[in-house]
Amino acid sequence: MTHRCRRSSGLWKIVVWDEPFFQGKKHEFTSDCYSTLDHGFSTVVRVTGSFEHCGFQGQQFVLERGEYPCWEAWSGSNAYHVERMCSFRPIACADYGRSRLMLFEEENFQGKRGELSDDCPSLPALGWGSNAVGSFFVRSGAWVCSQYPGYRGFQYLLESDIHAGEYKHVREWGSHVQTGQVQSIRRVQQ
């Protein structure tokens, strides 16, 4: 999972504290961190760049630059309650303006297909006939798909430079929830 940064690590910085609301011990990271527990840290707060979570396994949270004073700030309302953010890595996204994502109704790129090049807060509003997606092919960019409309619920990260952009089955993007329920999708911006 290392060496995935395409830009200088100087562009990314994540500052973590071990207590909510920017209290307690503080540490800065500018590259991948497999386990904050090795450093005695758990709570993430100030972010430069985009990151995901947890031994590179488990629940994912895509964090854009900004302040997250507590677990509730970065999690979704239906997240299972694990307040510790154990690991994170920068997300490479060369040119989000040229992001393109293909959606397929069924796994292995079968069934009805659709293509996105812009943020979509509601797939049903676009005419996608189901509340689920069977497989994805990321032509370019990095995307966040979400369980519910309006970017709510569980998040899953899709990247063109992982698996050659091929996500053939829900197991390949949703390691923590085995459902293909996806109702909103947006680009990762830098």
Please work out, in degrees rounded to the nearest 5, the angle formed at the alpha carbon of residue 14 by the alpha carbons of 86 and 85.
15
Backbone angle region of 46, left / alpha / beta, with phi > 0 → left and psi within -120 to 50 → alpha: beta
Distance (Å, rounded) from C-alpha 92 to C-alpha 136?
Answer: 18
Residue with structure tokens 């796994």? Answer: 107
75 binds a copy of itself (CB under 8 A): yes
What's the closest the beta carbon of residue 120 comes to a copy of itself, in angstroms? 8
* Of the residues 112, 150, 171, 179, which one makes contact with a copy of itself according to CB under 8 A: 150
Token duo for residue 79:
């997240």
Return the number of the residue (15 or 166) whose C-beta is nearest a copy of itself.
15
Return the number of the residue (5 or 132) whose C-beta is nearest a copy of itself.
132
Burial class, 80, CB count within 10 angstroms (exposed 0-12 / middle 13-18 / buried 19+): exposed
* Of the residues 16, 33, 47, 185, which one makes contact with a copy of itself according to CB under 8 A: 47
Distance (Å, rounded) from C-alpha 134 to C-alpha 136?
Answer: 7
What's the closest the beta carbon of residue 161 comes to a copy of itself, in angstroms? 20
Distance (Å, rounded) from C-alpha 20 to C-alpha 43?
Answer: 7
Footprint of a copy of itself on 83-142 (CB under 8 A): 119-125, 131
CB 24 within 8 A of CB 17: yes
The number of residues in the chain equals 190
Stretch that binds a copy of itself, among 22-30, 35-43, 65-73, 172-180 (CB under 8 A): 65-73
* Of the residues 149, 163, 166, 176, which one makes contact with a copy of itself according to CB under 8 A: 149
What's the closest the beta carbon of residue 187 comes to a copy of itself, in angstroms? 9
Footprint of a copy of itself on 5-24 (CB under 8 A): none
Distance (Å, rounded) from C-alpha 91 to C-alpha 53?
Answer: 11
Interface contacts to a copy of itself, rule CB under 8 A: 47, 62-68, 70-79, 119-125, 131, 144, 147-153, 183-184, 186, 189-190
